[in-house]
Chains A and B, each alone.
Chain A
Amino acid sequence: MNIKPKQMHFSELEQSHSDWQQRYDTQIGQNKTIENRSGLEVKPLYSPLDWDSNQYTQDIGFPGEAPYTRGIYPTMHRGRTWTQRQLIGLGRPQDYNKRVIAMLKAGASAISLIPCNSGFRGIDCDEVPVPLLGTCGTVINTTHHMTDSLKDVNYENISTALNDPSPFTLFAFLLAAAKRRGIPISQISGTSNQSDYISHCVANHMFFRLSLSGGRRVLLDHIEYCAKHVPKWNPVSVVGQHMQQAGATPAEAMAFTLSTAIQFAEDCIARGMDPDDFLPRFTFFFDISISFFEEVAKFRAGRKIWTRLARDRFGAKDPRSWRFKFHGQTSGADLTMQQPLNNIARVGVQAMAGIFGGLQSLHTDSYDEAITTPSEETAKIAIATQNILREEAHLCDVIDPLGGSYYVEKMTNQMEEEIVAIIERIDKAGGMYAAVEAGIVQRDIGLSAMRFQDKLESGEQPLVGVNCYKGEDSWASPPSYRPDKVKMQKFVDDFLQFKSSRDQSSVDKALDNLAHAAKSDNENTFEKVVEAAQAEVTHGEIIACLRREMGAGEPVIIA
């Protein structure tokens, strides 16, 4: 080993370490090997022997300085804490509106909209059994639905995340609604969250609408459109969250996400775009599990790798292109239906991992996440958890407070090696699209999910209230959210009425233009989606039109 700390002679250090090791081995008895979720061995102790502090400048550096291991901004959470962005979606637009206003009053600083599952599937509310409408997201099929959902919300001043990938109809509805309100679209800020089509193809299979190639084309059109017309909007959020929720390890989720980002960036470059024109608007979205130190290391490693990719692989020169900006969501897969109030403690630990990981934006799950769409009360506890962590716990006093921990630095390096190795494997398979089409990513995620499940079954991974500490008390189950069926039926009836009262010729024209753009090689399809939204064309009509032109996708499922 060639590490030579200045204050202590190396031989002395090695001798002390060996003395400790002997005492440890004598006293520990049965010494079992511990691995983190990514399969990396975790030792009982880390010391200067594990970390070459001479590498500090090159490998770690200072916040706001490449490779951004300690954070992407010089001031990090000392200057500005993270955006408190709660994912909200329920019922009808007016139900969403009521909840959003309550959450903003409770401390949320940005909004996020999740559509109804019918919207995920690319169909309108009139094509779905009423009991399934609005149970897990808000039904938004038209521009006027968007207008209703954002009534009295100053979205010209706060950022909006729309969880809606290709063809980004919700974003088109937002732009049309803004125009009607007289807000210049150049003022609109926010993110096309979950804009990453690949993540939907390999995990969870939500938002599954167009063929992979169709989704790819519209994504690029949308990136170009935003750069030109909506410069404050982040058109890309590359998503690792779905993959980790579906079972990918933290290292796999980070690697697959970066491999996806490589593909998107290289697609943009192939279109002739300058990396420094689009990379500053790339964002990422990750799951934060309860494997605390591993998650912190995952995010620190992710920043380092992205810096090198942006700078060295894509040739970006502007440091803004190198900064790895991410939103984190506490992991719902770690939460339990059993003893649901315990989830508040889990979410607190997950959120801290994200904060120490240096996130820019955070969603904390409600304690009833494993059971239902949150109630207003449980959603307020989730935002209060963020308020407490930010205001009371002194977590933001010091930037990257775990940096310099022998363990965290060593684990950051190990995670980095693991992630880079997976990225290289995907590169060899021909990139993320080819790997997904061959089912490689799906298989890896499935195997990791099974390995974790086996650990839960055997009790090797304890889960309080599920495989240990089950107790005998009966815990009250939070009520499940079910929209009022009568009101929902009326909403569908109103929608049908609205459709028949539209100016059909402008609807037909907008759809013709959209189909024409999809057929052509050089027209911007997203521009036509925006025009369609202005002409009152519905979500389902826009997607049906693009499906005809670009094909519908089927997931590749590897059991």
Chain B
Amino acid sequence: MTDNNFTYPPRVLVTKIGLDGHDRGSRIVAAYLRDAGMEVIYTPPWQAIDAVVNLALQEDIDVIGLSSLATDHLIAPDLMESLSKADLGHIKVIIGGIIPANEHAMLENAGISQIFEPGAGREEIVESVSRLAAAARGGKQQFEEVSL
């Protein structure tokens, strides 16, 4: 699957926050990641930010994949803030969907690791998520060592 050495497969939460229900893309991405051997937690759309944070904590998530086709990415910075407040800053968050070019900087500044636009392929997505999961694990370990 990847060059990274995982003792257990990457754990990925694929979800949608906000108001939109279009899930053709998120279902396909979830299947890509599952087929690549990752553990995928998939939620219905319209998740509240707090619910996503709780789920990420309970499920020991490495990467959160947000799908945004109708401007819900505009509240992604709120999710980043909530993750950080919950001491889950090591989790990497990616967004896929319709993300206008002039809003990329806003999302990157808020700490979003990667943005996938329409046309992104299976290989590219799997490779990135795997790499980000490894980085998240590294970050988590560091955080736990400091905390001890």
Contact = CB atoms under 8 A, between A and B. Distances in A.
A290 to B, nearest CB: 16
Contact of A205 (B45, B72, B121): B45
A370 B24 contact: no
A404 interface: no
A480 B100 contact: yes
Interface in A82-132: 117-118, 120-121, 128-129, 131-132
A246 interface: yes
Contacts of A247: 24
A136 B71 CA distance: 8
Nearest to A200: B21
A395 interface: no
B39 interface: no
A247 B25 CA distance: 10
A17 to B, nearest CB: 42
A132 B18 contact: yes
Given A371-B100, A457-B121, A449 B44 contact: no
B21 A206 contact: yes
B129 interface: no
Interface string A422-466: 000000000000000000000000100110010001000000001
Nearest to B19: A117
A446 B28 CA distance: 8
Interface residues of A, number: 40
Interface in A362-376: 370-372
A493 interface: no
B27 A559 contact: yes
A446 B30 CA distance: 12
B103 A480 contact: yes
B21 A204 contact: yes
A337 interface: yes
A371 B98 contact: yes
Contacts of A370: 98, 118
A208 B121 CA distance: 30
A136 B70 contact: yes
A249 interface: no
Contacts of A208: 21, 46
Interface string B97-140: 01011110000000000000111011000000000000000000
A557 B102 CA distance: 33
A457 B122 contact: yes
B115 to A, nearest CB: 12
B90 to A, nearest CB: 26
A54 interface: no
Interface in A2-44: none
A283 interface: no
B86 interface: no
A121 B19 contact: yes
Contacts of A559: 27, 30-31, 34, 42
Contact of B24 (A245, A457, A467): A245
Contacts of B101: 477
A120 B21 contact: yes
A229 B21 CA distance: 34
A453 B100 CA distance: 22
Given A136-B70, A336-B118, A559-B30, A128 B22 contact: no
A135 interface: yes
Interface in B22-54: 22-24, 27-28, 30-31, 34, 42, 44-46
19 contacts: A118-B19, A120-B21, A135-B70, A135-B71, A200-B21, A205-B46, A245-B22, A246-B22, A337-B117, A337-B119, A370-B98, A370-B118, A372-B100, A449-B27, A477-B101, A480-B102, A555-B45, A559-B27, A559-B31
Interface of B: 18-24, 27-28, 30-31, 34, 42, 44-46, 70-72, 74-75, 78, 98, 100-103, 117-119, 121-122
Kindly list the 8 A-B residue pairs having the minimum CB-CB distance in the complex, ordered from nearest: A205-B21, A117-B19, A480-B100, A135-B71, A131-B74, A466-B119, A136-B70, A337-B118
Given A129-B74, A131-B71, A135-B70, 14 more contacts: A121-B46, A132-B75, A136-B20, A205-B22, A205-B44, A245-B24, A337-B118, A370-B98, A450-B28, A453-B28, A477-B100, A482-B71, A557-B27, A559-B31
